[in-house]
Structure 1
Amino acid sequence: MGKDQPPHPTPHAPQPALQLRDLWLRLGREVILRGVNLDVLPGEGITLLGENGAGKTTLLRLLASGLRPTRGEGRVMGFDLRDSRAVRDYIHLMPVDAGLYPDLSCTENLEFALKMHAQTGDVAAALRRVTLEAAASRRVRFLSAGMRKRLALARAHLLARPVTLIDEPFANLDTAGRQLVLELLAELRTGGVTLLIAAHEPELARQVAPRALRLAAGILHEE
């Protein structure tokens, strides 16, 4: 390199999509999370493991700013977890019960989700993608558990938020339904979405989210 040539710039490490530092959460008298540290890069796929009652769902709710940490720091796409309005612009949580509006139809649920996030999208195509086009006008309360799960996945796919948290995506689904879930989640990751999946089927979840973390006694560690 000649004398007058500037040195090549050093590339900066990407900012984590999710970051927790010594985070504690107490609900009532019970300590749920104990000194949790976490770094998840943009576009990374994480499978969250743990026994029933370990706090997996609680951790997802906290990351979605549904709960406030008792102590410690957390950031989602650079925004403080305590700034719930900013965090919710970048994150989508699909709870185990699907989190749908039972008195709205399938179409209305998806249209409402787009409106809430000030987005546009092809609702009809999203319903076809999860084979619910025939149930487009049916109220959610009349859908089977598996159909509600597929509708919730259609919503997550339609919104494609930068960070998507999914609680038990394979529950209440047959083999074909589980394969559809894998395809939809793989498409999200291909599009650059950061995935955090809490699942009791690690052999399935790790196909699209290969890095595994385990939550036990309130402590998170690499599997």
Structure 2
Amino acid sequence: MTVGASDHALQLRGVWLRLGHEVILRGVDLDIPHGEGVTLLGENGAGKTTLLRLLASSLRPTRGEGRVMGFDLRDSRSVRDFVHLMPVDAGLYPDLTCTENLDFALRMHGHSAEVAGALRRVGLSQAAGRRARFLSAGMRKRLALARALLLGRPVTLVDEPFANLDAPGRSLALEVLGELRAQGVTLVVAAHEPALSQQVAPRTLTLASGQLAGA
């Protein structure tokens, strides 16, 4: 089946991905409509992070084809205008403050928004001037959630959003991800906490042996 423009935000057909001598993805097919929330499950090393990076056009398929918001997956410049990837390590600039990290992300995407309000939303107002390298792991995750909310990319890919968060932090993550879904964002969440992630991303796919299975 040929991938073409459709009502799907994400599509893959027969995608294989080899990194070095290891085959990570094996003939993966995927269809995710606009605005859907998907939980991606799989054991450690199954390739969940790799699949997210591929959907964000950070990696190119070895074989097969794909489209993101109607653009060829290999057209990374166009794809990145529509996709935000929130990595498990938060992907922050360690020498920038919380405010500077958010300001920089907004400038990179040509956006303007109230950064102070976003920091307040995630409980980081008192840390606004602190460099990211001096934040705890949980605080870095909160800052990454604020960035995802500010950017509001049509496709948001989130790797382990509940890692390094206490109970209030996990509740905050659910609220932020739920707000993104309410805005019509297509959300793909790779997580080891299906009971949590399925609250905002109810469709479940499982990655095992390089292949996707699920509803």
Greater Rg by CA: 1
TM-score for both structures, normalised by structure 1: 0.93
Query: What is aligned with 1:173?
Result: 165
Alignment-derived partner of residue 121 in structure 1:
113
Provide the secondary structure at the position in 2 that maps to 1:66: coil
Instruction: For 1:148, give the aligned amino acid.
Output: R
Could you list the runs of 4 or more consecutive aligned residues of structure 1 that deviate by over 4 angstroms after TM superposition? Answer: none
Quick one: distance in 2 between partners of 1:196 and 1:117? 20
1:191 is aligned to 2:191: no
Aligned counterpart, 1:110: 102
Counterpart position of 1:162: 154
What is the rounded CA distance, in whole Å, between the counterparts of 2:168 and 2:6 in structure 1? Answer: 37
For residues 18-167 of structure 1, the aligned pairs below 5 Å read: 18-167=10-159
Secondary structure at the aligned position of 1:75 is classed as: strand
Cα displacement string for residues 116-146 of structure 1 (whole angstroms, at most 9, x for unaligned residues): 0001111000000000000000000000000
Residue in structure 1 matched with residue 212 of structure 2 by the alignment: 220
- Partners of 1:136 and 1:29 in 2: how far apart? 44
Local SS of the residue matching 1:17 = strand
Counterpart-to-counterpart distance in 2, 1:218 and 1:159: 31
Other structure's SS at 1:98 match: coil
CA deviation after TM superposition for structure 1 residue 62, in Å? 0.4
Gaps spanning 5+ residues in structure 1: where?
A: 1-12
**Sequence identity (%):** 75
Tell me the alpha carbon deviations over residues 145-196 of structure 1, each in whole angstroms, 9 at most, x when there is no partner.
0000000000000000000000000000000000000000000000000000
Report the alpha carbon displacement of residue 14 of structure 1 after superposing the two structures with TM: 5.5
Amino acid of the residue matched to residue 196 of structure 2?
L
Separation in structure 2 between the aligned mates of residue 116 and residue 134 of structure 1, nearest angstrom: 25
String of CA shifts for 1:10-52, please: whole Å, max 9, x gaps.
Answer: xxx9620000001000111111000000000111000000000
